[in-house]
Structure 1
Amino acid sequence: MAARRTTPSWWPFEGISAKRRPRRRFPGRNAARCRLRSAAPPPRPNRRHNRAMGAPIRPHILRLRPYVQGKPSVISPGSDIVKLASNENPLGPSPRAVEAMARAAERAHQYPDGGGTLLREELSQRFDLPAGQILLGNGSDELLRMIGAVVLESPEDEVVCATPTFLVYEHTAHVVPATLKQAPLTDDFRHDLPAMAALIGPQTKIVFLANPHNPTGTVVTRGEFDRFLERIPATVWVVLDEAYFEFLRDNADSPTSLDYVRQGRPVVGLRTFSKAYGLAGARCGYGFFPRDLADAIERARQPFNVNALAQAGCLAALRDHEFLDRTLANNRSGMRRIEECVRRLGGQVSDSHANFVFADFGRPTADLVSALEAKSIYVRGGAGLGCPNAMRITVGTPEEVERFCAAIEDCAVLGGAR
């Protein structure tokens, strides 16, 4: 008796299982593919450890899922590994930023400027907003957490965001702890703003909205965002996480947080030097805030939260327009090449406006991600992002992009995907 075939004829990846796995379903075709983060059972608290050392740790903290970095975290010089997992700038930092940080290192025995005066003044002039409404953080992650720290008070307070989305939003809510409400993305991997608005109630304090979105790179339009603001109470802070804002240069129809902050709306805009500016290791983000929220965070934040090397490097990077132009040009060409490769292998790509491609293959991709790792190509597997059928691929240098395309095509059955 012939063995029953378990791999569909259309599946292009040789030696990689396409077996369907049980999955929870939610409204919408793609919502079914991107499961809610809360679906996984939380780890059991180590109560014996709590009793053994000091005062008990709050139980809800031990139920948090730790952030899993796109691996490997450190690559040895001369390694042939291609890291396309963490949305870093493949061109590295601006040479001017490197020089500025080297000069600042000579004064590393001194405390940094606790107010980040020079960098904030530069940002103030660049964006035509008073320096008092611009805050710096140890990455924009710190600013996200500080917003939660000064706004959220109790488990009854609510935070609304999409799913899947950036894990720090979930952590910001759960550390308090507050109640987290999430709306699945639409079938084309975009924010479902009407569904998010429907989740907002009297106890809602914060809405987190990444634009461009992480992990899909999709954007909301200005009209969609304006209608969303009209539907929700003015007592809700809407945080526009614009970590990938620089890659939106050619999209005039997307909302800009600055416009709403200048108008005095309850909107916050967060940006970072980690992506387009290539300074992820320096850890510096910044945000545009209404005055009262900025004042509250200034009272609560650590006094020296952004180090001197980061401040010097970010100031130099902000002034290096040529480097930013090269970064954006490399990103455009690399994204087109990766999207073309994914489509040829039967994958679906989102309409990404960031520095990565979100590819959905319609089947779990864990084995495919492992096969790429065996070829020293590291991408972000979809399971950790809440989308087990997908992967997120950072745009690398032209050479890295070609290595990725060659590696993933090597996994394809000849004639079945071309």
Structure 2
Amino acid sequence: MKNRIIGAATAVVLSAGLIAGCSSNGSGSSSNGGKVTLKLGMWASSPAEKQLVDKQIAAFEKANPNITVKEQVITGNYLQALQPMLASKTAPDIFYVDSSYAPTLEDSGVLAPLDSDIKDQNVDTSDFAPAALKAFQWKGTTYGLPKDINAMALEYNPALLAKAGIKTPPKSFEEFEKDAALLKAKGIAPLSMPNDVARYYPLITDFGGSYYDATNNKVTLDDPSNKPGLQYFLDNVKNKNIVVPKDLGGDWAGVPFSQGKVAMALEGAWIIPFMTQSAPNMKYGITDFPTANGKSSNVTYTVSYSMAKSTQHPKEAAKLLFFMTGKDAEKMTAESGLAIPSRTSQQDVFLSKNPSYKAFVNGVANATPYQYGTYGQNFVDAINKATEAGALQGLSTSKVLSQAQQTVQSQSNQ
């Protein structure tokens, strides 16, 4: 799961020019004597995920004997492989879309709007976690329904905290600073997280800022309200309360945390299977993402099923999409334990089997979708490079933010 999220965050932004001026060859779906064959596109996450999708499809086909569903597992860089399919109108009828690049696909016109079908088929969208549903709405139109969700939480090593006389993990970043001083006095690195907007963004919003205006698809990096949260993050990196993973020998925070090199980490639920594999005997805890400035925020990572606008069987494809994100399929997801279901009605089922995920589920309630409109990876690269420069060179927050804003604007025609 960690690889899937990171891969989506670093995906190449879809070129609008690639979509334009392409011929139609159909979606690859077919019909024969009243029977319809649909393709479902997914990435190769794990054998267990494919088994889950197999089970969900079997249930759908049993309820809809006139529809056959064939899976199309897309290997390698998912978005890069999907681009030419969308351009030539040969994409699967429905397929996974990560929230990080969803606005780019939605704005380019290659995804089918779903609102009329949602109304016609009486699909209950109120059951979805609001942040997850919002991630696939663009300019007032719904272009996908979330199949699962993720958020961040605080992972902690109780043995290392105890060495510093700390009985419980910090509930706020104010408490964190006090605990960090105690940990450093014992030679223990307090917290690991990267100079990455995908991790530190809750600090920006909790201190009253916002890097992006979703209503107007506008980058607002240089807004003065962003300074307090960024200043807090940079100050704590400077004084080693926050240590970037590479300084502890890892490419992400889960590595040094699993090795006992740091007392705490801020990561998503993908850290749990990693810890099971890498540090099966290590005792650690997971609690809610700390509050900052009296507010609680988070980032949600989510994936939809969306429908290709080029599908030759829109009604059947919509029926499949709604089943794969419906309560029956979501219950299968919950029972599998592979992912946090996006429907709140199924989260108790999931947590009854996976209680260690509770803090991640809690985090979704006050989360902002991990996406920055059609600016996509240009935005992420610009702010991450500027933030890293700010940490290494001691740049002011004004300089960091204005530099990132200028870089995004220079790379965009918007």
TM range (shorter): under 0.3
Structure-2-length-normalised TM-score:
0.24
Which is strand-richer, 1 or 2?
Answer: 2
Q: Whose helix proportion is higher, 1 or 2?
A: 2
